[in-house]
Amino acid sequence: MKLNVGLIKSVLNVYDEMSQNGINIVYLGEFHHQITKMFTAMAEDDLDRKDEEKTIIRRVYSVMVETLQNMARHSDELADKYNIGRGLFMIGKKDESYYVITSNKVSNAKVKTLEAALLEVNAASRDELKDMYKKQMTDGKISEKGGAGLGLIEIAKRTRNKLVYEFLPLDENSQFFILKAEINAKKIDC
C-alpha cells in the first residue's frame, strides 16, 4: 500500500473524529473468543487505571462481552469455514458515559425479527426486563448458533438505557446493523 496525501488526510480525519468522541478502542475484523478476551482485558485495565467504580467496570465489561458475543454469533458476514462473525467494535467515554458501538452485516430476512426484539427490549421497564430474562431462561430455546435470546435483554439491564440502533442498506440481500449501548458512569444505583 502506498501512502499518499489523500490517505494520510483520511487517517487524520478519522483520528480527530475518534478523539473528539472519546473513542479509545476500535477494531474491524473477526470476532471469536480470543478477540473478546483481549478487548475485555484491555478495557478492564483502562477502567482500573481511571479508578472507575467496580459497579461501572462490571457493567461495561458485561455489555462488551454481550455485544461481542452477539457479533461473533449473529453476523451474516462470516470470516472463514469456522463461521466466525466479522464486524466493527468501538468503545469510548464521553462526558459521564461509556459507550460500546458494534456493527455487522445482517441479512434482510433477519432484520424484522431483530428490530422487533430491540423495540420490545426498549419498551420494557426495569422489572419487565427482569421478567423477560427469567422467562427466556426457563422457556427459551437455544438457537442453531448457540444463543438463548438473552443478549439484548442483558445489555438493556446492564446499561439501564434504551439501546440505540440503525439499519443501513448494504445491498439487495443485507443491511449494516449498528448498535450503541451507553452506560452512565454516574448512574450506579442497583
What does each of the 190 residues of the chain score in pLDDT, given as a tens digit?
A: 777 898 889 989 999 999 999 898 888 888 777 887 888 888 878 888 888 888 888 898 889 888 888 777 767 765 555 556 778 999 999 988 999 999 988 899 999 989 999 999 999 999 999 999 888 888 766 555 545 468 899 999 999 999 999 999 999 999 999 999 999 987 555 4
Q: Distance (Å, rounded) from C-alpha 1 to C-alpha 17?
A: 23
Q: What is the DSSP secondary structure assignment for residue 78, as one 8-state letter?
A: B
Report residue 88 as a C-alpha cell.
Answer: 466493527
Task: Tell me the domain boundaries of the chain.
Answer: 17-184
Find the length of the chain.
Answer: 190
Its CATH architecture, for the domain 17-184, is 2-Layer Sandwich (3.30)
Using an 8 Å Cβ cutoff, are 87 and 102 in contact? yes
Q: At what angle do helices 151-159 and 54-74 cross, to 10 degrees?
A: 160
**Cβ atoms within 10 A of the Cβ of 87, count?**
28
